[in-house]
Structure 1
Amino acid sequence: MGHDHSHDHGHDHGSGNKTRMLIAALLTGGFMIVEAAGGLLTGSLALLADAGHMLTDSVALALGWYAFHLAERRANERLTYGYDRIKTLVAYTNGLTVFVIALWIVYEAWERFSMPSPVLGGPMLLVGLAGLLVNIVAFFVLHGGSRDDLNMRGAILHVLGDLLGSVAAIAAAIIILVTGWYPIDPILSVLVAVLLFRSAWALIRDSGHVLLEGAPTSLDRDAIARDIETHVVGVRDIHHMHVWSLDGRRTMATLHASLESGMAAGEAIARIKARLADEHGIGHATVEPEYGDCADARNDHNNHSH
């Protein structure tokens, strides 16, 4: 009763990122229709495949926008940290979908390489150039947002995949116009797929680490514990320490602090929190002060930091 600690931090970039995501979703979805029509008119399977790619991406961008929308909701008694982690969940899902798209591109490339079909290179080139322009605009719209946000990284990854797809379509169209060699289309598609695999794996790894509540790679939990023991007066020992990130940007910690007898608990907690915030960028910490034996010592012998 009366504990309205909503933890409403970290939304300074949220509104701008949300608007950027919506613009990119509209650009991608709008041009997807144009590219699909171009693919049907030219007989280009490459353009149709890229239109399918852009359809998936526009849906992913729309989901990313909705994740930002949900993250703006205040924390409540059931979701005490709010909805921020939805952005990370969407980023993880985006990474998986890009991985599947890359597999599909490889499969399609193999099919096309086995049975090359004629393509109208001129119209294909025009549609490819228009797609490149749209994707460059969408990329720069997203690139102006926060690169620390995993949801934004996922969105940029999707648009980058579309941009590379447009470059490949343009290159293939030029080579087809000059030489008439149709297999260049699937060859360039595989190159794009390899780049997508690499980026998707990085996004899945980073967002998965956040979802598993792993310690941020930039922080050393044991070093932080030693730092507090060394620099905060009245602290004998730090143990049962956990460090994790809520959304890839906001870092949190819980810890037990064994205090010298006579050291005021409130004063020690304030100093520890100040040290964590000022030196290690941990803005939210829960500190359990102790005198003598640890209250959890009987229950957990494997969770000490050092």
Structure 2
Amino acid sequence: MSDNRHLHLSDLRSAQSRALRIALVANALYLVVEIIGGLAFSSLALLADAAHMLSDVAGLGIALIAQALLTRPASARHTFGLQRAEVLGAQVNGLLLAGGALWIIIEAVRRIGDPPEVSGAGLIVVATAGLAVNVGSAVVLARAGGSSLNMRAALVHMVADAGASVATIAAGAAVLLWDANLVDPLISLAIAALVLYSAWKLLRDTTQVLMEGAPEGLDLDKVEGALSEAEGVESVHHLHLWNLASDVPALSAHVVLRDDVSLHDAQLRGERLKDALRAGFGIEHATLELECHSCEPEEEGADGPHRKPSFRS
């Protein structure tokens, strides 16, 4: 990885950590206000959003810890460093979101049959303050930039909470104008649906990284074509593409060279291929095994020698 790339990642991650700290403090302070408001005004919508906010605060804390872990250098035990800490943090966040949503659903269903009296004005005041915190935190996190799942998880929390705050304001208006207390648990169900959808997407994407699926947005056929069509390349096989972390794609491949070249020339061709992968696809971690001819190992089987099956062999 180039020095410029290292510096860029270092600056980016410092900005992300700073944004996470700001969002964590703001949301922790508002959580206290929302719990007090929910109890004082008997509002499930506020308490439901407070439960979600609690998962937000925990999630932001997890994201901040994960952000610190992924900056640790590689070691003999963890030769790639702890880059997947942010993916694990994002997955825990997804589970927290899902758990909070299920609690909201259970409590809302219980209250639909006997909705308590709710203070509409109180709902509006507290939820409006929450909306300001949510939007402010989302802006801070979005400005930190980057495409890591860890930051995306934190941003999803904030956006979902902003939607919940808007819905709670609407519930407060309905209670204030029409004394419609039933709106409070119904709005809570809508909030839960939004949270569950966000959790599902987050869990799906983190699982994709942990299962070493091909990075989203990178076409394996195009990558293979770029390698195969490069000067001096006969063919490509044993091609694998995955993510070390959410924004760090990696590749390994066997590349058969067309000409009978010296070891020095082969190394130069390999470096050119890596430069092309970096420039064309953003792949910084590329491991290329250069071959003078296709030399897949053979195994003895019941029907005699056969080649070991492999992807893109």
TM-score after normalising by structure 2: 0.89
Match of 2:210 in 1: 211
Please report how far the alpha carbon of residue 60 of structure 1 lies from its aligned counterpart in structure 2 after TM superposition: 0.8
Distance 1:212 1:246 in 2: 11
Distance 1:26 1:184 in 2: 31
Residue 303 (str. 1) matches residue 310 (str. 2)? yes
* Letter aligned with residue 301 of structure 1: K
Q: Is the 8 A contact 1:222 1:305 kept in 2?
A: no
Please report how far the alpha carbon of residue 206 of structure 1 lies from its aligned counterpart in structure 2 after TM superposition: 1.4
Match of 2:237 in 1: 239
Structure 1 residues 222 and 14 mapped into 2: Cα distance closer, same or farther (>3 Å)?
Answer: same
Match of 2:195 in 1: 196
* Letter aligned with residue 57 of structure 2: S
Q: Could you give the per-residue CA deviations for residues 198-242 of structure 1, whole angstroms, max 9, x where no partner exists? A: 222221111211111111122222332232121232x21111111
Match of 1:291 in 2: 292
Structure 1 residues 172 and 83 mapped into 2: Cα distance closer, same or farther (>3 Å)?
Answer: same
Match of 1:28 in 2: 27
Please report how far the alpha carbon of residue 280 of structure 1 lies from its aligned counterpart in structure 2 after TM superposition: 2.0
Match of 2:280 in 1: 279
Structure 1 residues 52 and 87 mapped into 2: Cα distance closer, same or farther (>3 Å)?
Answer: same
Please report how far the alpha carbon of residue 297 of structure 1 lies from its aligned counterpart in structure 2 after TM superposition: 4.8
Distance 1:287 1:244 in 2: 14
Match of 1:4 in 2: none
Structure 1 residues 223 and 300 mapped into 2: Cα distance closer, same or farther (>3 Å)?
Answer: farther
Distance 1:67 1:204 in 2: 16
Distance 1:220 1:138 in 2: 34
Once the two structures are overlaid, the 10-residue window that deviates more, 10-19 or 41-50, is 41-50
User: What is the correspondence of 1:1-306 to structure 2 with a 5 Å cutoff?
Assistant: 10-233=9-232, 235-264=233-262, 265-298=266-299, 301-305=308-312
Q: Is the 8 A contact 2:23 2:60 kept in 1?
A: yes
Distance 2:242 2:100 in 1: 31
Distance 2:147 2:91 in 1: 15
Q: Is the 8 A contact 1:131 1:163 kept in 2?
A: yes
Unaligned runs of at least 5 residues, structure 2: 300-305
Once the two structures are overlaid, the 10-residue window that deviates more, 172-181 or 35-44, is 35-44
Work out the percentage of aligned pairs sharing the same amino acid. Answer: 36
Structure 1 residues 249 and 170 mapped into 2: Cα distance closer, same or farther (>3 Å)?
Answer: same
* Letter aligned with residue 60 of structure 1: G
Unaligned runs of at least 5 residues, structure 1: 1-6
Q: Is the 8 A contact 1:84 1:247 kept in 2?
A: yes
Once the two structures are overlaid, the 10-residue window that deviates more, 56-65 or 164-173, is 164-173
Q: Is the 8 A contact 2:128 2:165 kept in 1?
A: yes
Q: How well do the aligned residues superpose, as a CA RMSD in angstroms?
A: 2.0
TM-score after normalising by structure 1: 0.91
Once the two structures are overlaid, the 10-residue window that deviates more, 80-89 or 104-113, is 104-113
Please report how far the alpha carbon of residue 295 of structure 1 lies from its aligned counterpart in structure 2 after TM superposition: 4.7
Aligned length: 299
